């Protein structure tokens, strides 16, 4: 019926005549020996925050989960379909990654939707509304703050969401255990789309600062 998007086909041609030429052997060996990334990144679906781009990562380097607002639900072994939890389990238990990075970013549409008290639900199912409900108590506190600007509230909640995801990661017994035994490290990062700045979370205080680069 519909033809495959030509922009993607053109991009694929660029890949094949460019990057792939240099990395042909790497792809082949990654196919034969399997992937063994040591870092799992949970990032936003946003088109401006691809971890492979921001971290200049090649094939085989990053195991990546992407959903709206880079969120991790709490551990709920209820027999339902859990995209994020399943991918986490795969990364931690099968691939045995050593680092998990939750990467948020500025101008996040999911966070904006969460803070927007005026819009009606998007649909009957309203999956976004439910999903952003993972941040509910924090969202309400930030929404009610009328002394910060909208942009300040947005940035605050973006960073709170990262800390919230990290807390929820620790509700997974395996992750908690691996972190405590020193076999897994959890990190937070926030990417400023407008300036290209990467802000890294201090694991102790939860504050974000720019690393010296």
Q: Contacts with a second copy in 27-86 (CB under 8 A)?
A: 27-28, 30-32, 34-35, 37-39, 45-48, 50, 52-68, 71, 73, 75-77, 79-86
- Comparing CB distances to a second copy, the nearer of 104 and 110 is 110
**Token pair 């990290």: residue:** 166
Binder of a second copy out of 96, 104, 109, 183 (CB under 8 A):
109
CB of 53 to a second copy, least distance (A): 6
Residues 154 to 183: which contact a second copy by CB under 8 A? Answer: 156, 159-160, 172-174
**DSSP designation for 40:** E
Residues 186 to 205: which contact a second copy by CB under 8 A? Answer: 186-187, 189, 193-196, 198, 200, 203-205
**Other beta carbons within 10 Å of 37:** 20
**DSSP designation for 91:** I
20 binds a second copy (CB under 8 A): yes
Residues 119 to 148: which contact a second copy by CB under 8 A? Answer: 122-128, 130-134, 137-138, 141-142, 144-148
Parallel/antiparallel/unpaired status of strands 198-201 and 208-209: antiparallel
Residue 187 counted as an annotated binding residue: no
The residue count of the chain comes to 213
Question: Is 49 in contact with 66 (CB distance < 8 Å)?
Answer: no
d(CA 168, CA 72): 6
Parallel/antiparallel/unpaired status of strands 185-191 and 198-201: antiparallel
Question: Is 59 in contact with 118 (CB distance < 8 Å)?
Answer: no
CB of 55 to a second copy, least distance (A): 4
Residue 22 counted as an annotated binding residue: no
Residue 108 counted as an annotated binding residue: yes
Residue 174 counted as an annotated binding residue: no
Q: Can you read off the two tokens belonging to residue 151?
A: 């942009």
Binding site per annotation, positions for Zn(2+): 44, 46, 105, 108
Binding site per annotation, positions: 44, 46, 105, 108
């Amino acid at each position: 019926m519909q033809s495959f998007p030509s922009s993607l086909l053109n991009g694929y041609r660029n890949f094949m005549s460019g990057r792939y030429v240099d990395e042909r052997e790497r792809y082949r060996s990654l196919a034969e020996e399997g992937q063994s990334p040591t870092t799992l990144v949970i990032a936003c679906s946003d088109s401006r925050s691809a971890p492979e781009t921001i971290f200049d990562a090649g094939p085989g380097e990053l195991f990546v989960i992407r959903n709206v607002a880079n969120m991790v639900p709490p551990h709920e072994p209820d027999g339902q379909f859990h995209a994020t939890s399943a991918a986490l389990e795969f990364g931690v238990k099968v691939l045995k990654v050593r680092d998990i990075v939750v990467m948020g970013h500025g101008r996040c549409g999911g966070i904006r939707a969460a803070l927007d008290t005026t819009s009606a639900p998007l649909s009957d199912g309203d999956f976004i509304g439910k999903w952003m409900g993972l941040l509910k108590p924090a969202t309400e506190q930030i929404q009610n703050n009328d002394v910060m600007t909208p942009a300040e509230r947005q940035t605050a909640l973006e960073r709170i969401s990262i800390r919230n995801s990290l807390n929820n990661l620790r509700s997974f017994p395996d992750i908690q255990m691996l972190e405590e035994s020193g076999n897994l490290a959890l990190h937070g990062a926030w990417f400023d789309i407008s300036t290209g700045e990467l802000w890294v979370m201090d694991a102790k205080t939860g504050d974000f600062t720019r690393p010296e680069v």
